[in-house]
Amino acid sequence: QVQLVESGGGLVQAGGSLRLSCAASGRTFSNYDMGWFRQAPGKERDIVARISRSGSSIYYTNSVKGRFTISRDNAKNTVYLQMNSLKPEDTAVYYCAAGQAMDWRTKRGYDYWGQGTQVTVSS
């Protein structure tokens, strides 16, 4: 089992920044790819960013490229999502997830999920 706890969400004005953190415990953190997903009301939970176990491979969905940065510190068992130039359309509950599957672009590729943290961007 891997336990994941997100923090860092909140209310911010458009153009502002937030840094999300996801602390992991349980099994060896460095054995897992880590993803950040988000889910807005009435919408699907979609991937925002993903980082491989070593950090050598990183993916961003198009809408956040150039604004968000995913990183991980395997010594601290933590993955981060730095969010800059936030827009109202970034408003959602953000989830971190851990997985080992090839299908990392979808929810099916992840075995463990955090409880989510709310990000609200006002215009």
What pLDDT does residue 102 have?
A: 85
d(CA 89, CA 63): 10
66-84, pLDDT tens digit by residue?
Answer: 999 999 999 999 999 999 9
Across all residues in the chain, what is the average pLDDT? Answer: 96
Whether the pLDDT of residue 101 is over 90: the answer is no
By the 10 Å C-beta count (0-12 exposed, 13-18 middle, 19+ buried), 89 is classed as: exposed
Band (43; pLDDT cuts 50, 70, 90): very high
